[in-house]
């Protein structure tokens, strides 16, 4: 089955092939939302798509953004990689005149990895189940999307990843009606670095969406201007940007590997930065001090986010001294690292688990709680959750990324994250229905109303709890460095 959608830029042909059991869902793949950011546009904000005549084929995914991935892996997944990557993918029950709710998803990957055509993010099942339109987006990554070098590349060259995302959302507002979507009912969801970007868009006053879902965002990772300048200096030291000719994409990727990621948690060298243009202040500061768009927000984290990252470390690494060093790195000078360790020791007897729990809270849970608490206290609808569904892999618990198969229902795409048995699929059913209720404009559970407010715990026993882990989260109040 094929279908044609008529946008103001030209007509697009999609099909339902490759959707498996969801054969009644039409997919438009590789849809351009901006001009290719190549040549003179490499370090520039996204530009409008040139119009075309006839019907443009949209049955194949577009190239993924340049990233550190092997040619063998690309070939295995039938993918290509190119700087000409500013495309999105749309799953819809029909390209008709119905006005269905829209879910736009911003993928994670530290703003250095990932793409909207990943099997885990296939939107067919979610679109079919909820009678909604699902959109995934490709945007510039790594140095090409985040280099802070305004003196070198001029104004408008900073935070290109955020500029791409904002441009894509403008495209959705203007064009999604051609795909059976309602441009006045757009929810944007972001996971991991996608959630960090979404917090930055909210803090910047972006009004191109009507609801927001933040999943597992390390919201403290928005970088200061000084931190971003340090990363740029490391790249400039390689010499690839100071010669007469522009470097090739492969050279840029090679230079990225020279950038120091820092101690735990990593510095996030490619996350958004406070550039005084797209981002004037850190989102955590904005949330506390002034209004953001007054839209409903659903936000949360997994219980054991950091365990999947610590899994690569040998057991012998986790000594008492290492745990204290990690606590000090997180808490900062002037704070008692031993007191932090003591607080977590009551609930975590293994040093590996204790060390991971501290980073989970510092990097993910506490900043998310602080961000949405401030939003709730200004009278906005907020719905807090913690995912407690464990990975079937021993020791990972409810780890980072485990929310993805549950939300999209693509359990078989990553069975090691959340499982693929009957119980896991039932958990996915529960999560999907709650998310869809929010996307449709409803209230999926009781509103979060500040410190100790109701939090939905999603696991073997799903339900609301008040005061959930408020004591441990309070440790990280005022622990984040000054931003500027």
Residues belonging to the active site = 192, 305, 400
Q: Which two tokens stand for residue 79?
A: 């993918």
Strands (E), 197-344: 211-215, 297-302
Q: Which two tokens stand for residue 283?
A: 């989102």
User: Which H or E element spans position 173?
Assistant: helix 160-175
Q: Which two tokens stand for residue 471?
A: 């004591």
Contacts 24+ apart (CB under 8 A), 67-73: 67/109, 67/112, 67/113, 67/114, 67/115, 67/141, 67/142, 67/253, 68/112, 68/113, 68/142, 68/253, 68/256, 68/257, 69/113
Closest CA to 100 of 129, 72, 121: 129
CA distance 105 to 183: 15
CA 397 to chain CA mean position, Å = 21
Residue pair 459/315 in contact by the 8 Å Cβ criterion? no
User: Which H or E element spans position 383?
Assistant: strand 382-387
Residue-wise over 396-429: b if at least 16 C-beta within 10 A, else e? bbbbbbbbbbbbbbbbebbeebbbbeeebbebbe
CA distance 246 to 83: 13
Q: Which residues contact 300 (CB under 8 A, 6 or more apart)?
A: 214, 215, 216, 368, 384, 385, 386, 387, 455, 456
CA distance 300 to 418: 17
Segments in 346-469 forming alpha helices (H): 351-359, 366-377, 403-408, 415-418, 422-439
């Amino acid at each position: 089955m094929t279908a044609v959608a008529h946008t103001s830029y030209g007509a697009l042909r999609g099909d339902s092939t490759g959707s498996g059991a969801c054969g009644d869902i039409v997919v438009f793949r590789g849809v351009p939302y901006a001009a290719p950011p190549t040549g003179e546009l490499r370090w520039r904000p996204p530009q409008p798509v040139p119009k075309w005549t006839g019907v443009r084929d949209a049955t194949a995914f577009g190239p993924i953004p340049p990233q550190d991935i092997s040619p063998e892996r690309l070939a295995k997944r039938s993918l290509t990689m190119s700087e000409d990557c500013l495309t999105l993918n749309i799953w819809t029950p029909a390209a008709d005149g119905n006005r269905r709710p829209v879910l736009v998803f911003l993928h994670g990957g530290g703003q250095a990895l990932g793409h909207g055509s990943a099997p885990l993010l296939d939107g067919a099942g979610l679109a079919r189940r909820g009678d909604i339109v699902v959109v995934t987006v490709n945007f510039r990554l790594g140095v090409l999307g985040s280099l802070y070098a305004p003196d070198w590349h001029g104004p408008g060259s900073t935070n290109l990843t955020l500029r791409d995302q904002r441009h894509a959302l403008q495209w959705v507002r203007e064009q999604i009606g051609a795909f059976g979507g309602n441009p006045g009912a757009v929810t944007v969801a972001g996971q991991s670095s996608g959630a960090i970007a979404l917090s930055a868009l909210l803090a910047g006053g972006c009004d191109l969406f009507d609801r927001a879902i933040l999943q597992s965002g390390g919201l403290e990772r928005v970088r200061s201007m000084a931190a971003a300048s340090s990363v740029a200096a490391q790249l400039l030291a390689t010499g690839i940007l100071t010669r007469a000719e522009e470097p090739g994409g492969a050279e840029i990727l090679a230079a990225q590997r020279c950038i120091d990621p820092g101690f735990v948690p990593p510095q996030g060298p490619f996350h958004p930065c406070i550039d005084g243009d797209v981002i004037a202040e850190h989102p955590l500061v904005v949330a506390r001090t002034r209004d953001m768009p007054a839209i409903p927000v659903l936000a949360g984290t997994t219980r054991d986010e950091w365990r999947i990252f610590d899994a690569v470390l040998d057991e012998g690494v986790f000594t008492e001294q290492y745990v204290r060093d990690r606590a000090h790195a997180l808490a900062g000078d002037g704070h008692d690292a031993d007191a932090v360790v003591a607080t977590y020791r009551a609930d975590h007897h293994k040093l590996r688990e204790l060390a991971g729990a501290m980073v989970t809270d510092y990097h993910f849970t506490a900043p998310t709680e602080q961000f949405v608490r401030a939003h709730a206290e200004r009278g906005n609808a907020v719905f807090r959750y913690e995912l407690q569904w464990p990975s079937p892999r021993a020791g990972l618990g409810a780890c980072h990324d485990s929310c993805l198969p549950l939300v999209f229902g693509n359990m078989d795409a990553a069975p090691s994250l959340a499982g693929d048995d009957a119980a896991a699929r039932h958990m996915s059913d529960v999560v999907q229905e709650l998310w869809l209720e929010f996307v449709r404009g409803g209230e999926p559970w009781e509103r979060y109303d500040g410190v100790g407010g109701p939090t939905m715990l999603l696991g073997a026993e799903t339900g609301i709890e008040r005061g959930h882990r408020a004591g441990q989260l309070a440790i990280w109040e005022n622990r984040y460095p000054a931003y500027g």
